[in-house]
Amino acid sequence: MSIKNQFGKKGWTPDRIKDLTGKTFVITGTTSGTGYEAARILLSKGAKVVMLNRNPQKAEATIASLQDVIGNSIEVMNVQMDLGVQASVKKAASEVLKKVERIDALLCNGAIAQVPKQKITLDGWESQMGVNYFGHFTLQALLFPLIEKSKGRIVTVGSMGYDMGLKTIKFEDLNLDKDYTPNDAYSQSKLAQIMTIYELQNRMIKAGKSEVKAYACHPGSSRTNLINTSGSFMMKLIFGLMKLSPLTQPAENGAYPQLMCATEPDLDQTAFYGPTGRSNWVGPVGAHELKPHAKDKAVANRLWKLTEEEVGIKWL
Ligand SMILES: NC(=O)c1ccc[n+]([C@@H]2O[C@H](COP(=O)([O-])OP(=O)(O)OC[C@H]3O[C@@H](n4cnc5c(N)ncnc54)[C@H](OP(=O)(O)O)[C@@H]3O)[C@@H](O)[C@H]2O)c1
């Protein structure tokens, strides 16, 4: 099913972003890939950017690189945060709340993918669920009061992988103890992230908090470090070859969907945004089909309640 692109043939591009002076964006995982590109483009439009990264040395090198490319006057800082450790996420959230006066958008971008063998985080979750899903849930919940005060946005970077695994949440074996596969685990974490955005929209309406906007998007198939960081040797080989083909796009293009969701006025929150070309891996950015299992309200509601219990935070 094709949806007419509201931004025309070329789709959404960052030329549409106006001057962002006075606005503040918080982004997870900016040391490479789409997060780096998103930070670079926001800074080049005059925004203040707070980066949340696990590795302080890499974060320092990222800031140096951004200053090199854009100039020393950019307003950028790093707050150390490991998405895979709840105590670290909580500490980082409280630091962010002390350091900034507003959050115009929180971009939940950082992730690991295709971890070859099941790994369990300190908090007891399968690593992709722990980092990609539970880490971001806690961050969103703790930053929500300031995002609300700022009439800001929450942007989740999902993946077309949401439709390439179990296609639901395996409540009876969330850590996939019985049948772990790297793909099912990654897919479940990305599906959980996407489902939670639509569930958040429902809950905000019920709570009368509709001034916050929440969007789900994905970067298509972009040439980044994702598989190199956490994937198996075989996956690295396969993705290395894919990167040479027209089935992938530069990391910069992969950042456009999250930048659009963070800055474009009058977007439809109920849509799913990403590249609209071949297999939704490349091409002009806009809204495109999302399979119904990602909007299954019963599953999303059950997941939300379970998540609040798991992370020990009552959100909405
Ligand atoms: N590339 C694609 O084709 C593709 C396709 C579908 C979806 N995505 C999604 O796009 C988003 C960006 O990924 P990317 O492709 O740009 O990959 P990337 O280049 O590997 O960037 C991922 C970022 O996340 C950070 N990160 C990883 N684990 C972390 C943790 N525990 N705590 C804090 N930060 C952590 C990484 O930091 P380190 O430097 O410390 O590792 C890095 O900055 C992800 O949500 C991914 O699922 C990508």
18-221+252-311 CATH, one of 1.20.1250.20, 3.90.650.10, 1.10.510.10, 3.40.50.720: 3.40.50.720
In tens, the pLDDT along 144-159 reads: 999 999 999 999 999 9
Pocket of ligand 1 (CB under 6 A): 28-35, 53-55, 58, 81-84, 109-113, 131, 157, 159, 218-219, 221-222, 224-226, 229, 254
CA of 244 to the centre of ligand 1 (A): 20
3-state secondary structure of 59: helix
In tens, the pLDDT along 110-133 reads: 999 999 999 999 999 999 999 999
Pairing of the two strands 285-288 and 272-275: antiparallel
- pLDDT value of residue 239: 85
Strand partners, 11: 285
Which residue lies with its CA nearest to atom 47 of ligand 1?
111
Strand partners, 157: 217
CA of 124 to the centre of ligand 1 (A): 21
In tens, the pLDDT along 83-104 reads: 999 999 999 999 999 999 999 9
Tell me the C-alpha to C-alpha distance, in Å, between residue 4 and each of 7, 9, 220, 264, 285.
Answer: 9, 9, 18, 17, 11
> What are the boundaries of each domain within the chain?
18-221+252-311
pTM above 0.95, yes or no: yes
- The length of the chain is 316
Average pLDDT, the chain: 96
Amino acid at 185: A
3-state secondary structure 204-229: HHHHCCCCCEEEEECCCCEECCHHHH
